[in-house]
Structure 1
Amino acid sequence: MDQMQTLVSWIKESGNIVFFGGAGTSTESGIPDFRSAAGLYTAEHESPFPPEVMLSRSFFMARPEVFFDFYRSKMLHPGAKPGGAHLLLAELERRGKLKAVVTQNIDGLHQLAGSKAVLELHGSVHRNHCLDCGRFYGLEQVTGSAERVPRCPECGGIIKPDVVLYEEELDHKVLMSALAAIAAADLLIIGGTSLTVQPAASLITYFKGRHTVLLNHDSTPYDDRADLILKGRIGEVMAEIERQL
């Protein structure tokens, strides 16, 4: 039995699958990973700021105009469509097999594909709030604003995306829900992530189920924990899995 057939058989046998994913899940939808996007911005704007600085809380508060210039031009992709990975995961949820998607992405493509049980460790571009009065806004309040820094129409306060910036902590409730989902799973599929961003990556160490599967283009620090490793473009791998299910 080859690797693909093995994974398909494990999916068929499983009743509690959790998917843990990162940027590679969305690159085939035309969304570059964070470092690639930051590199493009730096080259175009001759920016002296490294990516970790531009997406930090302190930089957001001190230089919001530069933050939003980078954020709007490189981090927002409102026209992106779900790829093969998003679609298969949504289908597995509909079949009652997949219990949760734990994602480091902020693009909302899992929900667009139809997934309901999505735990967004790093927040979402689709949720934004005023730092002064707390009113919540959708993505259009950021993309449609003519101002360099989007402001609340009600009080004039700066609107901040509900994404976790450097120097900010992950949402405790989301973190605990992700931990519980991974701990309860019998099959953990990890895809499109280098597993180097902490504390998110360490969540997979709580898995106590039967099989761990890694779908990734490159090696990760957790390869030795995997029962099965499939290399390649995650969307193509997922599309082939769907054909065999």
Structure 2
Amino acid sequence: METAAETGSTFGLLTDLVADGGVVVLSGAGLSTESGIPDYRGESGRKRQARPMTYQTFVGSVAARRRYWARSHLGWRHITGALPNAGHRAVAELQRRGLVAGIITQNVDGLHQAAGASDVVELHGGLDRVRCLSCGERSPRHVLHRRLAAANLGWDSAAGEINPDGDADLDDDLIESFTIVDCRGCGGVLKPDVIFFGENVPRVRVQECYAMTGRAALLLVLGSSLTVMSGYRFVRHAAELAIPIAIVNQGPTRGDAQAMVTLDAPLGPTLGALAAQLCPAT
């Protein structure tokens, strides 16, 4: 563990790197935990037993889709009610000041945008949208939420543990009594517009992130363990191009050996202090 002096020295180096601009942010679930949204692999993730829904399970079973939508119908209230924290606001401010040139997020909660960030590439999609697997039509999640509420009058429950993908732990008997709805246009299966485990990120989106990473003066990883290759590949890409990498995360990450700077610290206070130093009030 670093001493206070070592942590201060690391923070100073991070500040100097970000001050040069051209920063591309790669954010993960750890950035949103201070907004009340748990992650899969951090401290909040280790306390849960639930396994995330896979794409193959979702498309292969009506019962699985009923389970997902019943749990998600409750969990969505929690996700949509979450507010950006100091970390999200700091990233948005650094972008407004011209220091952050791009944002790639593995999160599906929309909190970067809610904090005022623009041109955010949502690597794994967004929970605020729904897609039909047959006709491809995308629609706002709040529209589906109203349809599900209307189809399940009198059905309600207090949500249990909330997962990062927006679903909530729920008893089996409540799940079995839940009614799901299909696409109003073609009757096809509706799926949240997010990448499930076992599903591939669209190639065009991946190439956009590779290109953004390749133009970076610094790749700044925030709140990601980089366990999944989906995000880690951009760290590898930056390393291959000799682009400096800095990581702020609570706990070790898969990319630590490739980073110039690693800081094990809470995201909100750390990024808030970084923005306060680089973006003084005028």
Q: Which TM-score band applies after superposition, normalised by the shorter structure?
A: 0.7 to 0.9
What aligned pairs does 1:1-245 form with structure 2 within 5 A after superposition? 2-14=9-21, 16-34=22-40, 36=44, 40=48, 51-52=51-52, 55-61=53-59, 62=61, 63-74=64-75, 77-144=79-146, 145-146=148-149, 147=151, 148-207=179-238, 208=241, 210-245=243-278
SS of residue paired to 1:18: strand
| Partners of 2:20 and 2:99 within 8 A in 1 | no
Task: State the identity as a percent.
Answer: 31
| Partners of 1:187 and 1:209 within 8 A in 2 | no
Shift of 1:209: 5.0
Between Structure 1 and Structure 2, whose CA radius of gyration is higher?
2
**Aligned-partner Cα distance in 2 for 1:225–1:199:** 17
**Aligned-partner Cα distance in 2 for 1:240–1:10:** 15
TM-score by length of 2: 0.76
SS of residue paired to 2:247: strand
RMSD value, Cα: 2.2
Shift of 1:231: 1.1
TM-score by length of 1: 0.87
The change in CA–CA distance for 1:64 and 1:166 in structure 2 (over 3 A counts) is same
SS of residue paired to 2:101: strand
| Partners of 1:141 and 1:150 within 8 A in 2 | no
- Which runs of 5 or more residues in structure 1 are unaligned? 43-49
Task: Tell me the alpha carbon deviations over residues 44-66 of structure 1, each in whole angstroms, 9 at most, x when there is no partner.
Answer: xxxxxx514xx112221202101
Deviates more, 1:225-234 or 1:30-39: 30-39
| Partners of 2:235 and 2:245 within 8 A in 1 | no
Shift of 1:152: 2.8
2:72 maps to a residue whose letter is: Y
**Aligned-partner Cα distance in 2 for 1:154–1:37:** 37
**Aligned-partner Cα distance in 2 for 1:84–1:98:** 16
SS of residue paired to 2:35: coil
Shift of 1:124: 0.6
| Partners of 1:127 and 1:136 within 8 A in 2 | yes
